[in-house]
Amino acid sequence: MAKYRVAWLPGDGVGPDVLAAARVVLDRIGLDAEYLPGDVGWEFWRREGDALPARTIELLGNTDCALFGAVTSKTKSAAEEELDPRLQGKGFSYRSPLVRVRQLLDLFVCLRPCKAFPGNPLNYRDDTDLVVFRENTEDLYAGIEFNGVPEEMKLLPGMDRVPPDAAISLKINTRGGSKRIARAAFEYARKHGRRRVTCVHKANVVRVSDGLFLDTVHQVAHEYPDIAFDNAAVDAMCMSMIRHPQNYDVIVAPNLYGDIVSDLATQLVGGLGFGCTGNIGKHYALFEPSHGSAPKYAGQNKANPIAAILAVRMMLEWLGETDKAARLEAAVADTIHEGQVRTHDMGGSATTQEMTQAIVARL
C-alpha cells in the first residue's frame, strides 16, 4: 500500500495540462503515493448541476490531501444558459467548488508564497519574497447573500436606509476565525525565520468586522514579541507593495483583501505562471496553482506548469517530505535562472511539456 493517498482533481481548461506536468514531477521525485482521480468543475455543473459532486467530497474524506488544477466559473446568467436543459428551472445555482471545499473541510488557511526566482524576466524586482496568509472560510465569501431586504432584517439598525432593490452580501469575521489565521501567520513567521507580520484591513471604514479582525491579530501579536508587527489599510497596502515589495515578509488578511493582495503579490513575482496556493486545515490540505482555467489555452501544451509544480512543492512540504520539496524548489530555481527554457508568458516558446522536462532533468 502506498504511504499517501492523494485526491487528483484536474478540473477545467488548462487544469488537466498542468496537473499532467505535476504528475511527471511527482513520479520522477518518487513520492510513495496513490493518486485518486475526482470530478470537479464546469462540466459537472453543466451536466449534473453540481460542480462538486457528492462522490468527490467523499473522495476528499478518504485521502490525505488533494492536488487541484483549475475551475471555470461564469456569471449567473451565462451559467443558467449553459445548464443542461433537463436541469433548468429546478433551482440549481452555481456555487464555487473551491469556496465550498474550503468551507466543508474547514481549510481555514490560504497560504500563498510569493518569491521572485532570480532570472525570471517577469520579476518586478528580484528581491521580493513574501508570504500571504489569507483567511479562507469567512468574510464576504461566507456565501450569505440576499436579493432584496429579508423581512427579518428590516428591523435591524440602519436597515431603514437600505432601498428594497438592494443586493446584500454579509461580511462575517469572527474572533475565533481571526485568531486562528493570525496564529498560523505568526507560527509560520517564527518557524521560517521571518521578521515581520503585517495585518491588512480597512478598519478605519469597515469598523465592526475589520475592526474585530485587526484587534484580534493585534492581540495575538503580543504572544510573539520576537516578531515585529504592523498593519496597513488595504488600499494603502496595494500602493506600498508596488513601491517597496521587498519591505514585506508575512502578510495576514481577511478573505477578500487576502485574495486581492495575494494576486498583486503574485504579479510582482511573475504572474499567473508562478503563483501557488495551499488551502490548509488542521488535518487536510488542498494544493493548487493560483491561476484559473484559461479555457482558450486548454489542451494546447502552452500553459506554464511552474505554478502547479510549485503547488507540488508545497504539498511535499506539508506531507513532511522536506528533502523532496527542497530538491524540487532548487530544480525550478535553476531552470529559471539558466533561462534556456521559457514558456510563452515568459517571452519564450517552450511548451508545457518542455518546461516540465527541463525541471525534471534537474531533479
Catalytic annotation, residues: 141, 202, 235, 259, 263
Q: Which CB, 112 or 342, lies closer to ligand GGG?
A: 112
Q: Say which residues have a Cβ less than 8 Å from residue 168's Cβ, sequence separation at least 6.
A: 145, 146, 147, 149, 153, 162
Q: Within 68-97, which residues bind ligand GGG (CB under 6 A)?
A: 70-71, 73, 96-97
Nearer to ligand GGG, 26 or 232 (CB): 26
Of the candidates 223, 242, 180, 278, which has an alpha carbon nearest to the alpha carbon of residue 232?
242
- CB nearer to ligand GGG: give 97 or 273: 97
CA 188 to chain centre: 17
Kindly state the smallest distance separating residue 202's Cβ from ligand GGG, in Å. 22
Shorter beta-carbon distance to ligand GGG: residue 206 or 303: 303
CA distances to 5, 189, 250, 327, 335 from 8, rounded to whole Å, are 9, 30, 30, 22, 26
Residue 190, number of CB atoms within 10 A of its CB: 14
Q: Are strands 276-280 and 250-253 parallel, antiparallel or unpaired?
A: unpaired
Q: Compare residues 63 and 279 and give the one whose CB is closer to ligand GGG.
A: 279
**Min CB(127)–ligand GGG separation in Å:** 27
Q: In the stretch 132-171, what mask flags binding to ligand GGG with x, by CB under 6 A?
A: ----------------------------------------
Task: List the grid coordinates of 159.
Answer: 436597515
Minimum Å gap between C-beta 291 and ligand GGG is 6
Q: How far is CA 2 from the centre of its chain?
A: 27
Query: SS3 for 224-258, per residue?
Result: CCCCEEEEEEHHHHHHHHHHCHHHCCEEEECHHHH
- Please, which residue, 54 or 208, has the CB nearer to ligand GGG? 54
Give the DSSP letter string of 178-196: HHHHHHHHHHHHHHTT--E
DSSP character at residue 51: S
Cα–Cα distance between 45 and 98 in angstroms, integer? 13
Q: Could you tell me how many residues of this chain bind ligand GGG (CB under 6 A)?
A: 13
Interactions with ligand GGG, residue window 267-296 (CB under 6 A): 288-293
The stretch near ligand GGG (CB under 6 A) out of 66-74, 154-162, 245-253, 312-320 is 66-74
Least separation in angstroms between residue 279's CB and ligand GGG is: 10
Smallest distance, ligand GGG to C-beta of residue 45, A? 9
CB 293 → ligand GGG: shortest distance, Å?
A: 6
Q: What is the DSSP letter of 13?
A: T
DSSP sequence for 85-137: TTTTTS------HHHHHHHHTT--EEEEEEEPPTT-TTBS-TT-EEEEEEE-S
The nearest distance, CB 74 to ligand GGG, in angstroms, is 9
Q: What is the CA radius of gyration of the chain?
A: 21
Residue 98 interacting with ligand GGG (CB under 6 A): yes
Cross-sheet strand order for the sheet of 276-280: 33-37, 4-11, 65-70, 285-289, 276-280, 109-115, 129-135, 250-253, 196-201, 228-233
Residues 307-346 that bind ligand GGG (CB under 6 A): none
CB-nearer residue toward ligand GGG: 31 or 308: 308
Q: Which residues contribute to the site for ligand GGG (CB under 6 A)?
A: 70-71, 73, 96-99, 288-293
